[in-house]
Chain A
């Protein structure tokens, strides 16, 4: 089946540094990918939609300059959390739309802890 690989699975960084999270579609081409953030005991919150070769579309309230999204190829989208602060600590999950528009598959998530 269609698999999305997300890396790293967890990361700890110092406040003020930047962290990059990768999301790769392993056996299919993902024209559209999505990035979510999930705080403890809460649901997934959509941050942005990224389309290959174009700028990402951010949800209201999500700072595009802080959460940089790049979708330069049909198999890779990256999320960079710039100048991370403790309040950015969260579980970040990527998702990709399946070919033909028939459903979505999700990465395994990245636990970001900013200290």
Chain B
């Protein structure tokens, strides 16, 4: 299982774009990169998943360079409600019976 490394915490202000970078140097060919969001006293919630280049959905964008050894989650125009812990994980596609190991996560604090 590829280990991920991301900043422990980040601060931002409302309306700003936030980019959280994660490194996964040992990612395997069949691995996908997934980001989850967790609010206090709740289970993690899926945000976005990608394999390479760029993926965008209604809440975020995910940028993955060609070597796939890192990825960047981009949250446009954050609000106070985006304050949460964001986890970057590497998942084996089609292998969801495989265990999912969480790293430290990044605590994003959005201020007014």
Contact = CB atoms under 8 A, between A and B. Distances in A.
B80 interface: no
A35 to B, nearest CB: 11
Contacts of B103: 43
Interface stretch (B18-26, B56-64, B70-78, B93-101): B93-101
A71 B40 CA distance: 27
Contacts of A107: 43
Contacts of A108: 42-43
Given A31-B97, A49-B99, A51-B97, A111 B91 contact: no
B100 A95 contact: yes
Interface size class of A (residues with CB under 8 A): 20 to 34
Interface of chain B, main secondary structure: loop
B51 interface: no
Contacts of A106: 36, 43-45
Given A6-B43, A103-B49, A32 B102 contact: no
Nearest to B32: A103
B43 A101 contact: no
A102 B93 contact: yes
B94 A46 contact: no
Interface of B: 34, 36, 41-46, 49, 87, 91, 93-97, 99-105
